[in-house]
Structure 1
Amino acid sequence: MSGPVLVIELAEAVPHAAIQRLHEFLVRSSARCKEKRFGEYDLNVHAESLGITDTGGVDGSRPVLVSLMGPGIGDEAIFEAEHADEVDQEPLIGFAPTYAIDVIAFCNRPVDHVVTALLTAAVMDVVGGVANAELREDQVPIVAGLPGVIATTTNPWPAAYGSAEFVRAWAQQPGFRLLK
């Protein structure tokens, strides 16, 4: 079963030194970190390493994929397909994304939603970027007032864009759940 996904939009290529720092962080935070290709990591993330104490009774090591994509790095076709039906993001976030990082959980328990969010924020601390989160209609007013929100939109679907601070603040909301 697939779980929640968050996307980090990037204005430019991530420098190799930042990708190396990201790799080092992921190794420290994980029970297992397999580099599938440069910039793509198959992980079992320790929930505790992200500050999560309530794992809902499931194993604290959660399966996640962190995948950098864009020209010259890999998964260019996936990047293009994911962005083909997006609204023009430049007026919303100040740039047209040329690269992205997907943070994808492989399970769909409540803890996996929190792991995905907090891991996304931690990745943003290393590489920068803007989180792009699809929302349910009822989540739009909840996220609109959170710190670090850059923009929200309802067209073509509800979404919020924000900083790592936004992602962390959202993950603390009661009943937090990512759309997918």
Structure 2
Amino acid sequence: MLTDIIATNLDVIFCGINPGLKSADDGHHFSGRSNRFWKVLHQSGFTPYGVQAVNDTSILDFGYGLTTAVARATSRADELSKEEFDESLEAFKVKMTKFQPRYVAFLGKAAYQAFSKKKEILWGHQSEDFCGAKVWVLPNTSGLNRGFSLDDLVASYREFYVAIQE
């Protein structure tokens, strides 16, 4: 089981699609050996040092939180059904309304596409808010996401980091 790491009025809640099997098994976000989330977060400026997945709760110290769009763990996000996203939407909206982050950063297009009902989504800042939070869509850091090199990921996350400093 993977527990949200969340508090009220955070600068950003990073929203993964769903937990990977290893993360769900050990209870730490982005703990899969091939997941690049923690490395990318540090290299793009969000954290002053590389956080280890076992210390994932320390992300709150920087004003960030972690959640997932769908709670069910899978080895691949494409194992999730449209119905699972639909069933998760209301609980996700309640969570965002309760915790009121400045930004929700969706990691990958899948969850935001399902939640917004939009067919076409561009990377980066989205024009409409989600439950009062600004929305940014970032590439997923999963090791299965071969479309983005580490440098590509760092550049995307850095663009977001710079934007939220303004």
TM-score under structure 1 length normalisation: 0.32
TM-score under structure 2 length normalisation: 0.33
- More strand per residue: 1 or 2? 1
Computing the radius of gyration from Cα coordinates, the structure with the larger value is 1
- More helix per residue: 1 or 2? 2
